[in-house]
Structure 1
Amino acid sequence: MESFAALRAHVETLAAALPPFGSGSGYRTTASPGAASRQRSGQGEDFWQYRSQTPEDTAGAIDWRRSATGDELFIREHELQSARLLSLWVDGSAGFDWRSDARLPSKADRARVLLTAIAMRYCETGDMAGVMGGANGASMTSHSPGRMLDDFLHIDGESRVPAVPEPQAAHLILASDFYQPLDDLRSWIEREAGEGRTGILLQVVDPKETDFPYSGRVRFRLPGTGLEKIFGRTETMRDDYLARFAERQDALRTLCQSVGWQFLSHKTSDEPLETAFALLQLLSVEGAG
């Protein structure tokens, strides 16, 4: 794991290279910063509907221009708007906080940087973001990326399933290699999707996990445990390994498609900017923007 200062520097550099949130395809502006339409009447600036006056309405609430067309008095209602909340999670397990080469970031560090940079852009319009299970709570992360990084660094590593998001969270991003058994994760996602939440699964992997460039006798260790095993002629395992890797990605895509979520994969040897931009685009298309 990189130092806190190094991670924050990477976050700020990446966020500065990204366009403003929602500037791409699918973006729909709202009437006021940090407000998302809720498809019902309430406090806001966008016109929602006319309704007849009731005894509780004051004279100032009457739309006199509309009322002048007939004998009935009409009230002009506005669409309810409220700040949006993006909830994020990075797998805290030892297996995810791993890298095959000291010149590469660990999978967890890359995920922390990507999601914090995304949150900074997301919050620039007045919206909020937070880490599921984080001690610092949701905030306008554009002003305090360090709070989010701190929460990411202290996620419970014993569970490979996120904590329950805050009730007002509407959009979720989960980052992991997703090598764990999928039954618990599937149940979690189906429950949250059933609550009307949109989501993105971001799979972050090391290049040696995607390419399996091994040959001969190799000792493999499971990070965070004392488990290890030596395999001989590892080059003969490559085709079976790659088939199982592709099968896992297909299972993740199918899970996302079944609930209307999105799946995205990122390799730590690749530059993070393209993936960060893709995440912003997916958030916009899914209605977070």
Structure 2
Amino acid sequence: MASTRVLSPGGRSPGRRETESALTLAERMPRLILEARRVAATLSHGLHGRRRAGPGESFWQFRPFVAGEAAGRIDWRRSARDDRLYVREREWEAAHNVWLWIDRSASMGFSSSLALCPKVERALVLGLALADAFVEAGERVGLLGLSRPQATRSIVERVAESLAADAAGLDEDLPPRAPVARFDEAVLIGDFLSPLDEVRAAVAGIAGAGCRGHLVAIVDPVEETFPFAGEAELHDLEAGLSLRVGDAAAWGSAYRARIQAHRDALAEIARGHGWTFGLHRTDRPASEAALRLVTLVAARAAG
């Protein structure tokens, strides 16, 4: 039988104040940074070359010279080996902005015995690893509502410092309404257990300018399966409410149907803006979700 815990000190009931205190990041951040760098090291850095012609330094391919082009573009060395004239094309390497948002609200402190870590730790590791990978690939990374996009080798530390200093973020279970530019990318990482109307409004507030985006729902295995029986006590970590259930097993089928309907609605919200939606369970390695996001961003940039 699975058991659960919430990041709260002293074994007391997981009320709002205790959970906020438990989610203080300063002490845990060095360990999470190291884990994030290990995840980033496993990723294939395929974002830098966009695999299309444009300004840049990296050679991409030769192509036949087209009448009307400047003669200075001809590669005479390659053309001398054939009876045609060729142009040396370079890859498009223009950096663009990737905006991250990482949910650190009370519900993210949840962890069961089936998980490798609490949801908030997995979200932080994933976000930091992506920041490192994107900057390594030549992009600029910023935090929605917290920091401007930067392309620095110390991006992981800068993002971590911004998050650790942002105590107000512990009260926010959805990203701020900050429209992102059309050619930018937004990656939102959280459990998205808020009412769907609120999620829909938050995503619309970011996607309004037509930016590309990705929703990554972090879930504990227990949240998907609800493998309980007998008497149970359920806690709403955001509102500080509790509910005692006499027969948890009888709730299982209805709960699973409702959570699946919520996930389907999240996917529909994402599709409505041309975004992607993905589910990442905390009993799986962080590298799986990180690789999927890097691949999606690379595919969109090349499209």
TM-score bracket, normalised by the shorter chain, equals 0.7 to 0.9
1:32-87 deviation line (CA, Å, top 9, x unaligned): 379xxxxxxxxxxxxxx999xxxxxxxxxx95779xxxxxxxxxxxx997531100
In the alignment, is residue 98 of structure 1 matched against residue 110 of structure 2? yes
> 1:226 maps to which residue?
240
> 1:119 maps to which residue?
131
For residue 119 of structure 2, what is the amino acid of its counterpart?
K
Q: In the TM superposition, what is the alpha-carbon distance from 1:284 to its structure 2 partner?
A: 1.3
Query: Normalising to structure 2: TM-score of the pair?
Result: 0.73
Match of 1:258 among 252, 272, 278: 272
Gaps of 5+ in 2: 1-22, 59-65, 74-90
Change (3 A) 1:125 1:280: closer
Distance in 2 (alpha carbons) for counterparts of 1:22 and 1:83 = 10
Distance in 2 (alpha carbons) for counterparts of 1:169 and 1:102 = 39
8 Å contact from structure 2 (residues 114, 222) kept in 1:
no
Q: In the TM superposition, what is the alpha-carbon distance from 1:165 to its structure 2 partner?
A: 5.2
In the alignment, is residue 19 of structure 1 matched against residue 30 of structure 2? no
In the alignment, is residue 160 of structure 1 matched against residue 184 of structure 2? no
8 Å contact from structure 2 (residues 180, 208) kept in 1:
no
Higher helix share: 2
In the alignment, is residue 32 of structure 1 matched against residue 56 of structure 2? yes
In the alignment, is residue 202 of structure 1 matched against residue 216 of structure 2? yes
Q: In the TM superposition, what is the alpha-carbon distance from 1:20 to its structure 2 partner?
A: 1.0
Match of 1:239 among 227, 249, 253: 253
Distance in 2 (alpha carbons) for counterparts of 1:127 and 1:240 = 44
Distance in 1 (alpha carbons) for counterparts of 2:55 and 2:72 = 22
8 Å contact from structure 1 (residues 86, 169) kept in 2:
no
Between stretches 160-169 and 205-214, larger displacement belongs to: 160-169
Change (3 A) 1:217 1:241: same
Q: In the TM superposition, what is the alpha-carbon distance from 1:243 to its structure 2 partner?
A: 0.3
Between stretches 240-249 and 169-178, larger displacement belongs to: 169-178
Change (3 A) 1:65 1:140: closer
8 Å contact from structure 1 (residues 107, 205) kept in 2:
yes
Distance in 1 (alpha carbons) for counterparts of 2:302 and 2:188 = 15
8 Å contact from structure 1 (residues 96, 107) kept in 2:
yes
- SS in structure 1 of the partner of residue 150 of structure 2: coil
- SS in structure 1 of the partner of residue 111 of structure 2: coil
Q: In the TM superposition, what is the alpha-carbon distance from 1:167 to its structure 2 partner?
A: 4.9
- SS in structure 2 of the partner of residue 95 of structure 1: helix
Distance in 2 (alpha carbons) for counterparts of 1:101 and 1:65 = 65
- SS in structure 2 of the partner of residue 137 of structure 1: strand
For residue 150 of structure 2, what is the amino acid of its counterpart?
S
Distance in 2 (alpha carbons) for counterparts of 1:217 and 1:116 = 39
Aligned residues: 251
Change (3 A) 1:213 1:126: same
Distance in 2 (alpha carbons) for counterparts of 1:287 and 1:209 = 34
Distance in 1 (alpha carbons) for counterparts of 2:128 and 2:196 = 25
The aligned runs of 1:176-215 (5 Å cut-off) are 176-215=190-229
> 2:34 maps to which residue?
9
Change (3 A) 1:12 1:102: same
> 1:151 maps to which residue?
162
Change (3 A) 1:179 1:118: same
Distance in 2 (alpha carbons) for counterparts of 1:128 and 1:228 = 43
Query: Normalising to structure 1: TM-score of the pair?
Result: 0.76
Gaps of 5+ in 1: 35-48, 52-61, 67-78
Change (3 A) 1:148 1:288: farther
Q: In the TM superposition, what is the alpha-carbon distance from 1:232 to its structure 2 partner?
A: 1.0
